[in-house]
């Protein structure tokens, strides 16, 4: 048998002997192939277990993302709850620091910038939701107007 076969799918070549092939050469080849197949089967099983583990992680992360993106009653404004109080405290603290600072305007400007950043963040998070709520309210108003017109047209005395 050729010891260094570059292509594992190539047909093996066995040396001839007096009555067929060299039995030890064939046995050695079959043992190598068996070991190769066993090793590959082990690798496949390990990789399948890893895939299953990763699929579980992906499912758990997707569930967490879905939960994080789901708006639940009472939690819609959770990231802006207390924003007014935080800004108020920030400005009070800035006023106190400004009074003690050699550069009161700079201290107050930093506090204003921080407060404005918090407000901008809150707006960026809630403006799309507010727009969807306004659109929903407009749709509901149009639907109610259709009902009112139908009632007036078909049941004039039932207002």
Q: What are phi and psi of 82, to 5 degrees?
A: 80, 5
Quote the pTM value: 0.38
Q: What is the pLDDT of residues 81-95, one digit of tens each?
A: 788 888 888 888 888
Query: So what's the pLDDT on residue 123?
Result: 83
Q: Residues with Cβ < 8 Å from 152, sequence gap 6 or more?
A: 159
- Paired with 20 in beta bridges are 17
SS3 readout for the chain: CCCCCCCCCCCCCCCEECCEECHHHHHHHHHHHHHHHHHHHHHHHHHHHHHHHHHHHHHHHHHHHHHHHCCCCCCCCCCCCCHHHHHHHHHHHHHHHHHHCCCHHHHHHHHHHHHHHHHHHHHHHHHHHHHHHHHHHHHHHHHHHHHHHHHHHHCCCCC
Please list the pLDDT of the chain residue by residue as tens digits (159 residues). Answer: 445 555 666 777 667 766 777 888 888 999 999 999 999 999 999 999 999 888 888 888 878 777 766 654 444 455 667 888 888 888 888 888 888 888 888 878 888 888 888 888 888 888 888 888 888 888 888 888 888 888 888 887 776
Q: Residues with Cβ < 8 Å from 86, sequence gap 6 or more?
A: 118
């Amino acid at each position: 048998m050729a010891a260094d076969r570059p292509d594992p799918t190539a047909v093996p070549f066995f040396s001839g002997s007096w009555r067929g092939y060299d039995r030890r050469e064939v046995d050695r080849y079959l043992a190598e192939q068996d070991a190769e197949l066993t090793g590959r089967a082990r690798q496949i099983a390990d990789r399948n277990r890893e895939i299953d583990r990763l699929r579980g992680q992906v499912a758990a992360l997707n569930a967490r993302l879905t939960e994080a993106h789901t708006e639940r009653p009472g939690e819609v404004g959770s990231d802006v709850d207390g924003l007014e109080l935080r800004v108020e405290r920030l400005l009070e603290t800035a006023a106190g620091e400004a009074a003690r600072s050699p550069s009161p305007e700079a201290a107050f400007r930093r506090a204003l910038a921080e407060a404005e950043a918090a407000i901008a963040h809150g707006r960026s998070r809630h403006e799309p939701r507010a727009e969807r709520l306004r659109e929903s309210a407009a749709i509901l108003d149009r639907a109610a107007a259709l009902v009112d017109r139908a009632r007036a047209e078909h049941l004039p005395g039932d207002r």
